[in-house]
């Protein structure tokens, strides 16, 4: 069962089926992770199955979902390079990432 947002169970997880190296498996990840992975697939012209297979083939003993999360961070870190960083306090990138990943509590 997925946890509920904001309680001790943690963030909501979404379960989706993917084919990794030709075999069907289910992955449970946060909606924002799924959206990020979808965006990468669209940018790179790959299917979700293709990108998950490539990650799976390189992950060694690491957990597949953890490897996907690390891949996403690495992808976007490489995409941004050093653009947008601020010398005077939090950058717009930091504020946007916080707002997107962890919406302010009203």
Phi, psi angles (nearest 5°) of residue 30:
-65, 150
**26 domain residue, yes or no:** yes
| Nearest CA among 54, 71, 59, 62 for reference residue 19 | 54
Burial class (CB in 10 A: 0-12, 13-18, 19+), 57: exposed
Residue 96: the pLDDT is: 73
**1 domain residue, yes or no:** no
**5 domain residue, yes or no:** no
Domain limits at 38? 14-79+90-100
**75 domain residue, yes or no:** yes
pLDDT in tens, the chain (106 residues): 444 444 556 678 999 999 999 999 999 999 999 999 999 999 999 999 999 999 999 998 999 999 999 999 999 888 887 665 556 666 677 677 777 766 666 5
**2 domain residue, yes or no:** no
Number of domains in the chain: 1
**3 domain residue, yes or no:** no
Phi-psi region of 47 (alpha: psi -120 to 50; beta: other; left: phi over 0): beta
**105 domain residue, yes or no:** no
Residue 2: the pLDDT is: 42
What DSSP designation does 4 have? P
8 Å CB contact between 15 and 24: no
């Amino acid at each position: 069962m997925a946890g509920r947002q904001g309680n001790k169970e943690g963030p909501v997880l979404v379960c989706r089926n993917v084919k990794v190296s030709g075999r069907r498996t289910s992955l449970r990840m946060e909606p924002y992770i799924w959206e990020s992975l979808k965006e990468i697939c669209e940018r790179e012209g790959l299917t979700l199955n293709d990108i998950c297979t490539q990650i799976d083939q390189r992950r060694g003993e690491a957990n597949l979902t953890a490897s996907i999360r690390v891949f996403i961070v690495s992808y976007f870190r490489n995409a941004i390079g050093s653009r947008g960083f601020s010398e005077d306090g939090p950058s717009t990138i930091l504020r946007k990432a916080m707002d997107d990943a962890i919406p302010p509590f009203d």
